[in-house]
Structure 1
Amino acid sequence: MSVLWTSAELRAATGGTLASEVAVSGISIDTRTIQPGDLFVALRDQRDGHDFVADALARGAAAALVDRDPQGVGGAAPLLRVADSLTGLQALGTAARTRSHAHLVGVTGSVGKTTTKEMLRVALSALGTTHASVASYNNHWGVPVTLARMPRDAAFGVIEMGMNNRGEIAPLTRMARPHVGVITAIGTAHIGNLGSQEAIAEEKADILLGLQPKGTAVLPADSPFLPQLLKRAEDAGARILSFGESSRADIQLTDYIPGPDRGTARLLMDGLPLSVHLSAPGHHLAINACAVLGAVHALGLDVVAAAEALSAFDAGAGRGQRVTIALQAGAALLLDDSYNASAASIRAGLSVLAAQQASRRIVVLGDMLELGEGGPAMHEALAPDIAAVADLVYACGPLMRGLYEALPEARRGAHAADSAALAAVVAEAVRPGDAVLVKGSLGMRMARVVAALKALDVTGDAGKVVP
């Protein structure tokens, strides 16, 4: 087991005190997934992590980072004591970045950032030891956790950066100091907090504030906000690469050949034709692949090898994962895109659903949150797109009621107050031959619907992921 942090390094990084001599091999903020040798960081979120320090140490944690005395812990316990546990974690992330020689790519955007991050993980892993954010660790504690976990020998790092409000990305990018900053898209997610897409573009462009000298901005060429992003990149002194379908794009998607379970993207980069074979369907993934190869190119790496490596990429749970549900008289297909939702990502999911060979195409939707006063209209505007693809629609939440009622009556399956009520209704309705897309904002907990559908599987393995 390699040593990630020594006691001396922990003290120096955080300015804290630690009486014990320990060897830390990982960083954890959750006792449910803690591993022996981890440093447990006692953060305050929905619950106070200090209440779990004793459990963490009992499970084999090498030490715990704390800012008060935790209960049930003896005086000889290996406690790294700091003034504030979150600030201590952030100091650890900053120190990890300072000591690392890895070339880092920062990723943000209104839609596609987690998928792009995962595609970068796959592409860069073919070229060297790569470290990347897990899940959506992209906020004020997720970014420092990711940095603090970075192995000493990492050649590349991929850091996802998200936001809910103005001013949140700047401190993250200044901590990560990426060599490349990727902005996937400017959409309407969190517009209720920021007020306009122009303000969202400004916040996303803040990723460029932390760029290394002579760093590169990888920007969406098809975005109406490209001029705004270009100005920010020029102000940051960044080299600029653009990606998309525009003929002006440096990494141009010239063609996408879709299939029900995969797709092929044809690209041009500096006049060089490239093909990317993806093991997951979706035009949006082809656009993401352009951004990924732009970042690889910006790092001066082998884009051909990276393109070949992307053939191993597949969508993860909650991100468009394809799962077969074995029923008594046949099988249904679940498209699990339940982790989050925006108007753009719902339309992307619909395009994947439309490509499926199915007796019925069913769409299950939860509210898109944080849209402000424009929320009802944004939901109802999706009705024509949904009616063009879906045979039946099931929805939950007050905002989705407006969309549901805007649909032709023949398309309406049912509406419920929340995902807990909707899950049983959808599970009862699904039949062999159906293809079911599940989508909604994280706060709507659409994973409940996914779990109810997987529970229908008669093989007992909760559904099989379709390769």
Structure 2
Amino acid sequence: MSALWTGAEAARAIGGRLTRDFEIAGLSIDTRTIRPGEMFIALTDRRDGHDFVADALARGASGAMVSRVPDNVDSDAPLLIVPDVLRALWDLGAAGRARTGARVIAVTGSVGKTSTKEMLRAMLSGQGRVHAAEASFNNHWGVPLTLARMPREADFAVIEIGMNRPGEIAPLARLARPHVAMITTVAPAHLEAFGEIAGIAREKSSIFEGLEPDGTAIIPSGLETTPILAKAAARASRIMTFGAEREDDFRLLEVMVSQDRTVARVGHADGQVLLRLNGPGRHFATNALGVLAVARALDLDLAVSACDLARWQPPAGRGQREVIHLDIVNQEQSFDLIDDAFNANPASVSAALDVLASARPRDGIGRIGRGRRIVVLGDMLELGPDEIDLHRQIAAHPAMTSIDIVHCVGPRMRALWQALPDSRRGLWFETADEMARVAHRIVDAGDVVLVKGSKGSRVSQVVDALRKLGQPGADRAQGKE
């Protein structure tokens, strides 16, 4: 396969100057994960990327994009010198988008962006060559990097676009120039920056500003903010809706959630299609409706697309379910762990609690004798002045009646912990590290344990501690602290 870029191609695209030509097999912004042949891009955040250029070259980088020659790098090293590295990355992303014949799909939303992106990757990979963003590369670095990494021969590209404050989505959408743009949903998230959910809806709907002239806008129905989305989508050549409304282009007719999968019957203009998803949750089925709408917008076969969706698995930290064996001899001595520790807001917590409520613990195998539904909830961040009340309101969620114990992490989650009845109130700690230290005390064989919180709450530490209970030599619930 040919190089992703030559140095000369990249230099022409961004108006840079080469010290000498080199081939670029890929692009990296992190020397810890850089692979031989990749060009290192010396971006500046908390640290100046130029401090790591020598290390990148020593690790096999074919060259580096810089705004100056670092002091510890030879002047004849393979460098692409530009006035501003971030601006050059955007220009390279624009060039990557301009040279491709791929059909581009952009996804945003308060909840479900990454899961939906991975659904699209799974569906489209059965029908062509797919280029999609890594992890959650959805910001002012990640989107241009994803576009610049796009192979010439891609048939489809899936670009995830996120935001933290007003004005971020539109420039990224105009850079991506999608043929199809989808909003998963609008929910209370980043309220600290927006003040009200209508502001979030307006920001999310600005994704349509980047649509190609014949582009399709795909929006969720049944939301308080759907009219805002629909008004913004009017610039599109075509609008499609998904949800549970009678007039929706893709309508959820029936959904069955089992222990480890979701089966949904979906209605559309030409009939019905059956979906089987390898993850439990009505919210996954709803996201899949939007994915099928993308398939229709791309003129793909819906039956084939629905079958291809069966290859999707929830990404790590976003509802992935696994079995943790506490005894290497007796496989029944295990518990189920649902890792949803990457992000949290009221809507995603609600969906996760519904999944836990539908899970089936196993009785008669642990010390306690009865399998339990247990949740560890970390703070939901960036919710603005009503954040304490939004945490407290979780206590009234209907799924709580099916959950046995609620453990809480963080100062905001203390409000929920205090609102819980004594029968459900578990432990509360200020930090995830404290909860992780006692992870072996909060679980028993037969339990189903959900861990959910914003990334900044660091409840992924609790996930890691629970996973380690399945490793030889780990402390058990009946062992030491």
Fold shared per TM-score above 0.5: yes
User: Is 1:139 matched with 2:139?
Assistant: yes
**Mapping of 1:230-379 within 5 angstroms?**
230-234=230-234, 236-328=235-327, 330-358=333-361, 359-379=371-391
The answer to whether structure 1 residue 154 and structure 2 residue 154 are counterparts is yes
Matches of residues 174-253 of structure 1 in structure 2 within 5 Å?
174-234=174-234, 236-253=235-252
CA offsets 1:69-113 (integer angstroms, 9 cap, x no match)? 224211111111111111111110011001111000000000011
Question: In 2, Cα distance between the equivalents of 1:460 and 1:145?
Answer: 42
Q: Which whole-Å deviations, capped at 9, do the CAs of 1:275-295 have from their partners, x for residues lacking one?
A: 011111111110011000101
Give the equivalent residue in structure 1 for 2:25.
25
**Residue of structure 1 in register with 2:469 after alignment:** 456
Amino acid at match of 1:435: V
Aligned partners of 2:422 and 2:454: how far apart in 1? Answer: 25
Question: Which runs of 5 or more structure 2 residues have no equivalent in the other structure?
Answer: 362-370, 475-481
C-alpha contact (below 8 Å) 2:375/2:406 kept by paired residues: yes
Give the alignment of 1:4-23 within 5 angstroms. 4-23=4-23
State the Cα distance separating 1:413 from its structure 2 match.
Answer: 1.2
Q: Which residue of 2 aligns with 1:57?
A: 57
Contact 1:394–1:426 (CA under 8 A) maintained in structure 2: no
Instruction: Indicate conservation of the 8 Å contact 1:365/1:396, yes or no.
Output: yes
Measured after TM superposition, the shift of residue 187 of structure 1 is: 0.5
- CA deviation vs aligned residue, 1:136-166 (integer Å, no higher than 9, x gap): 0000000011001111100000000000000
Which segment drifts farther, 138-147 or 326-335? 326-335
Q: Which residue number corresponds to residue 391 of structure 1? A: 404
Secondary structure at the counterpart of residue 377 of structure 2: strand
Q: Does 1:401 align with 2:404?
A: no
Q: Normalising by the residue count of structure 1, what TM-score does the alignment of the two structures yield?
A: 0.97
Aligned residues: 461
Distance 1:40 1:300 in 2: 38
C-alpha separation in 2, matches of 1:132 and 1:318: 18
Contact 1:159–1:176 at 8 Å: present in 2 too?
yes
SS of the residue 1:316 aligns to: coil
Distance 2:387 2:209 in 1: 31
Given the two structures, how large is their TM-score scaled by the length of structure 2? Answer: 0.94
Aligned partner letter, 1:446? V
1:278 and 1:195, CA in 2 relative to 1: closer, same or farther beyond 3 A? same
Corresponding letter in the other structure for 1:141: W
Residues 306-344 of structure 1: per-residue CA shift (max 9 Å, x gap):
110011111121011111111137101110000000111
Q: Secondary structure at the match of 1:398?
A: coil
Contact 2:94 2:176 in 1 (8 A): yes
Measured after TM superposition, the shift of residue 459 of structure 1 is 4.8
Kept after mapping to 2: 8 A contact 1:387/1:407? no
Contact 1:54 1:71 in 2 (8 A): no
Q: Distance in 1 between matches of 2:221 and 2:400?
A: 30
Q: Report the secondary structure of 2:189's partner residue.
A: coil
What is the alpha-carbon distance in structure 1 between the residues aligned to residue 458 and residue 320 of structure 2? 17
Q: CA deviation at 1:48?
A: 1.8
Match of 1:411 in 2: 424
Could you say which residue in structure 2 is the equivalent of 1:430? 443
User: Which whole-Å deviations, capped at 9, do the CAs of 1:220-249 have from their partners, x for residues lacking one?
Assistant: 012121111111111x24310000111111
